[in-house]
A and B are shown apart, each in its own frame.
Chain A
Amino acid sequence: MSNEHAIAASPSGDAAARDVASAHTPFRYGQLILWIVVGAVVVNFAWIVANNENFGWPVVGQYFFDPTVVQGLYVSLGLTVIAMALGIALGLVLAVARMSSDPLASTLSAWFVWFFRGTPLLVQLIFWYNMSTLFPTLSIAIPFGPTLASWDTNSVITPMTAAIAGLALNEAAYMAEIIRGGLLSVDRGQAETAEAFGMTRMRALWRIIIPQAMRSIVPPTGNQLISMIKATSLVSVIAMADLLYSVQSIYNRTFEIIPMLLVAVIWYLLITSILNVGQGYIERYYSRGERRTGGAAQGAKPAAAAVAGEASH
């Protein structure tokens, strides 16, 4: 049926127009030359760096899998994963609280974000680390009432917990704003539809709103994650032996500063590269409804036209 239309719509004397299927793309010499020039520069630069003895490549190779370095790598990665997970979870709670109609929840959330975004992470880490000098004991108590339980601060706030608390709370403040932006980007009609279908707020958020918000949440979160990996190097000030701290501890002994920093740099680049690939997959997953030409649709096109034609007469 649609073929007949196509034929009828094109006057047969239309000889100047040729089928585009037979068209070929002209060769673009300019682009080729540009590629060659850029390629030559890159390869040459790599050659120079690789042959520059000051970079100490043999030392880099020697220390790349050094136990101290690997240990530091684990600390950096572990801190990143834990702080990021806590930051995202708390950020989600803060974002939802900020958007709720409850003035107490939204005010508390706004204050939290204001404070933790507004002060340097380094200072926050030092405060957490020195918590025991500020509050020698930590207690659970009824405000102005009796104490229910209490602990020695030093036994609770180790360098590890101080680092996690500092990084996670700071991250939560940033994630709260990223998640809030994502939730706001979802069409208002979606929440309304979920509501009309009798979903609870929680379920609507979880099943309908968040999956759609993910499209705009994932890219900045990838950014945050990469910043976080590098931000973990700040914990060296509170005596946590992360990746950067470990290479520093080695070059303090061997004085091979540049090669050891290269070890750290290459590790950081490796991790971020893996994360970029992962981010790509996640983004593709959450954009699955976006593409107009899915496999299912292509296969179904002709049949669809038939059904539509049938239903509309």
Chain B
Amino acid sequence: MTAATGTEPLVRARNVHKAFERLEVLKGIDLDVMPGEVVVILGPSGSGKSTFLRCINHLEAIDAGSIMVGGEQMGYRLKNGHLVKLSANAIALQRRKIGMVFQQFNLYPHMTVLQNIIEAPVGVHGESRASAVDNAKQLLARVGLSDKLNSYPRQLSGGQQQRVAIARALAIRPELMLFDEPTSALDPELVGEVLNTMRDLAGQGLTMIVVTHEIGFAREAADRVVFMDGGHIVEAGRPDEVLGNPQHPRTQAFLSRFL
């Protein structure tokens, strides 16, 4: 699972700063994620985890620093040695290699499960309908929802919706998957089915950045755990190190709540 050393990182964040009005949310984040690596971001509420995740696919523009994904700087390009802001459509192109799963699922409620999944492959990536439908069926089988092809999102339980959302993100064949608290909106008995799906993906070598409060998932599935607090990464390392023997008092305080 652990990425081979020597290859280029898929995600390279350097000194990322982000403020909303006067509120400084990210105060210099550095993070490299290697291809195939599963990074879990932990941290108290308001520490900037979601904001950082949204900066990676440029849903939020950063104020300073840089974020590279797959060798491209998100939101900008170099022109005659100067950094130039990309147009909205060019940024849309950059995002095509990044899948995202949201806390509130955000399935398209007016579309069936199948339509939800093939929307981006057909409409954004130009995949043929037939092949997108084939792929969608395989993905639904993978998340255990083959019989829900023609259901609408509202007819599904939260856990089922989130698994469809994962299938939808996988359908664009992403190089990188971002998960923002994918189980936080779920009833406790539904958390397991979503985490199982994510564990499968982690095992299959997909590069994932996961914001979650599921310490158990971090322990089992993560290659690296990153602990954020107050807009900084205060501690990062192998799950057994960070979770088993946290060094920073903030991390210790945070983890003690889960014991």
Contacts and interface: CB of A to CB of B under 8 A. Distances in A.
Tell me if A's interface is mostly helix, strand, loop or mixed: helix
A212 B109 contact: yes
Interface in A168-210: 187, 189-190, 192-193, 195-201, 203, 207-208
A160 to B, nearest CB: 38
B198 interface: no
A287 B123 CA distance: 23
A199 B193 CA distance: 29
Given A212-B110, A289-B109, A290-B154, A304 B160 contact: yes
Interface residues of A, number: 36
A293 B151 CA distance: 10
A303 B147 contact: yes
B148 to A, nearest CB: 6
A192 B59 contact: yes
Interface string A279-313: 00000001011111110110010011001101111
A288 B152 contact: yes
Given A310-B144, A312-B192, A196 B100 contact: yes
A296 B155 CA distance: 9
Given A289-B111, A294-B152, A312-B189, A197 B102 contact: no
Given A208-B108, A312-B193, A195 B92 contact: yes
B157 A294 contact: no
B62 to A, nearest CB: 16
Given A193-B106, A312-B190, A198 B155 contact: no
A193 B119 CA distance: 12
Interface string B108-139: 11111000000110011100000000000000
A189 B150 contact: no
Given A195-B92, A300-B148, A308 B193 contact: yes
A293 B152 CA distance: 10
Contacts of B89: 200
Contacts of B31: none
B92 A199 contact: yes
A203 B96 CA distance: 14
Contact of B154 (A189, A200, A207, A292): A292
A199 B124 CA distance: 6
A131 B2 CA distance: 75
Nearest to B89: A200
A179 B227 CA distance: 44
12 contacts: A196-B98, A197-B120, A197-B172, A198-B92, A212-B108, A288-B152, A297-B151, A303-B147, A308-B159, A311-B144, A311-B163, A312-B193
The 9 closest A-B pairs by CB, nearest first: A297-B155, A311-B193, A198-B96, A198-B95, A193-B106, A289-B152, A197-B120, A296-B150, A196-B100
Interface of B: 57, 59, 88-89, 92-96, 98, 100, 102, 104, 106, 108-112, 119-120, 123-125, 144-145, 147-148, 150-155, 157, 159-160, 163, 172, 189-190, 192-193, 196-197
Interface of A: 187, 189-190, 192-193, 195-201, 203, 207-208, 211-212, 286, 288-294, 296-297, 300, 303-304, 307-308, 310-313
